[in-house]
């Protein structure tokens, strides 16, 4: 995900057909703010926490694993709570985004 921020990461071809810019190359075309628009469809609480730590947005749906035997809406609520807690603990400054589909 770090490469989406726009910093160079790839070494240019040493024998290019056209001149390369100096330094490392970034992903092109660059899209400002792309990293903040990445959504992760989480099937478990653990992957929701993982997505939160990385600063991704969360998609929860009926594809969520049955981890507790509780009704789906209760499990989704707990998944979202775990996501929001992990997002805050990771120190992200923007408001986390959550999408729920059923």
Handedness of CA 84, 85, 88, 92 (dihedral sign): negative
- Residue 87's contacts (CB-CB under 8 Å, 6 or more residues apart) are 52, 53, 55, 96
* Lookup: tokens for 71: 């009704």
41 DSSP β-pair partners: 59
* Lookup: tokens for 64: 């969520």
Burial level of 37, CB count in 10 A (0-12/13-18/19+)? exposed
Per-residue pLDDT tens digits for 10-50: 999 988 899 888 899 999 999 999 989 999 999 999 999 99
Whole-number average pLDDT of the chain = 95
Q: Is the pLDDT of residue 90 over 90?
A: yes
Per-residue pLDDT tens digits for 45-68: 999 999 999 999 999 999 999 999
Strands 39-41 and 98-100: unpaired
């Amino acid at each position: 995900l770090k490469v989406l921020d726009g910093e160079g990461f790839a070494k240019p071809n040493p024998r290019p057909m056209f001149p390369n810019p100096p330094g490392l190359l970034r992903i092109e075309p660059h899209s400002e703010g792309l990293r903040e628009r990445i959504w992760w469809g989480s099937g478990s609480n653990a992957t929701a926490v993982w997505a939160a730590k990385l600063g991704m947005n969360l998609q929860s749906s009926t594809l969520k694993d049955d981890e507790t035997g509780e009704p789906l809406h209760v499990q989704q609520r707990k998944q979202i709570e775990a996501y929001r807690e992990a997002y805050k603990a990771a120190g992200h400054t923007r408001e986390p985004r959550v999408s729920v589909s059923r």
